[in-house]
Amino acid sequence: MNIEALTHEAIGLLEQMVARPSVSRNEKEAADLLEHFMTGHHMLPLRIGHNLVCFSPLNRKGRPTLLLNAHIDTVKPAASWTRDPFRATREGDRIYGLGTNDDGASVVSLLQVFRILSHKEQPYNLIFVASCEEEVSGKNGIESVLPLLPQVDVALVGEPTGMRPAIAEKGLMVLDGTAHGKSGHAARNEGENAIYKALKDIEWFRNYRFEKTSPLLGDVKMSVTVINAGTQHNVVPDRCTFTVDVRSNENYSNEEIYRTVCAHTDSEIKARSFRLNSSHIDENHPLVARAKNLGLKPFGSPTLSDQALMHFPSLKIGPGDSSRSHTADEYITVTEIREAISLYMELLDGLEL
């Protein structure tokens, strides 16, 4: 099949995906659709929950393994959509619909590329995984699949990057802080105001700078995003809780950042998870070198993906624009899908790992 035919088929599949709501943890219909498409095109997908895994029939022992991955789940539609988010709407070159940009275009483009490459002898073994629960970093997504795969040497993760290669991405850690005080009557000098105690730590989060910066990802970023305290106006609050969004660079693990936070704050600090660390791939890796030879400029991505759960080198690259993700009237263009299929083929066909 030529690029035009592959693009036309990919768009048809994408439009069907949009019509099957696949908000995280509710991806069954989208997984059913993809499974039906794959079996109808002589692939043999393995279903793991709502994840789909497919191996090239030409895989052989002794060769490195390349994983292609993109996710089928979406966020909930924003209230300000002006179109039906669950109906693909064509307007010129644009295709509107929830999940078109993040991450349906990558799913259908990589699946078409997998179909072609898996029937052409390559210097590597090839695996395709359409995964679920990416938007919530769920444990039933890619994390449940990876232990069941053979050793993976490198992954290509499809996410909307404008087909620019992201060779690093920031990690994520969410912290919950609790400042403890003592209740009392607000009219008298009683109690210890937990809000005032929390303010000192909140100010620390605002002003502290980690020493090591990254040329690709910049500084570690900490943002206090939620705060709750008090029961009524005349009671000194004895408890103030706050939430901190932490975006790590490759110079610090989430555990290291957590230890620093605990050493500098008086509030009780708990991390929801340490598992979503920053990820990066060496600029000299053969996959990155091939991308640069094609004129693509590597960059560092501030947004999180399933790369954070991959304990092997990975490169993030895909059609669309990250600024469209999670927004009302999300869209992808036909041109972007066509160019993605073509560029993925150039990047991967005959790649020596």
Reported as a single tens digit per residue, the pLDDT across 10-52 is 999 999 999 999 999 999 999 999 999 999 999 999 999 999 9
Q: Which two tokens stand for residue 216?
A: 């690709």
What DSSP string describes 92-114?
Answer: TTEEESTTIIIIIHHHHHHHHHH
**If you average pLDDT over residues 197-223, what whole number do you get?**
97
- 36-57 as b/e, with b when 16 or more CB fall inside 10 Å? ebbeeeebebeebbbbbbbbbe
Asked whether 162 and 321 are in contact (CB, 8 A), the reply is: yes
Given this model, what pLDDT does residue 28 score? 98
Q: What residue has token string 């109808």? A: 40
- Of 54, 26, 59, nearest to 40 (Cα)? 54
Note the pLDDT of residue 189: 85
Q: What is the mean pLDDT of the chain?
A: 97
Q: What local confidence, expressed as pLDDT, does residue 211 receive?
A: 97
> Does the pLDDT value for residue 1 go beyond 80?
no
pLDDT at 69: 98
Residues 6+ apart with CB under 8 A from 263: none
Measured CA distances, 152 to 58, 200, 215, 257, 301 (Å): 16, 46, 27, 29, 22
Pairwise CA distance, residues 117 & 113, whole Å: 6
Rounded to the nearest 5°, which phi and psi values hold at 88? Answer: -65, 125
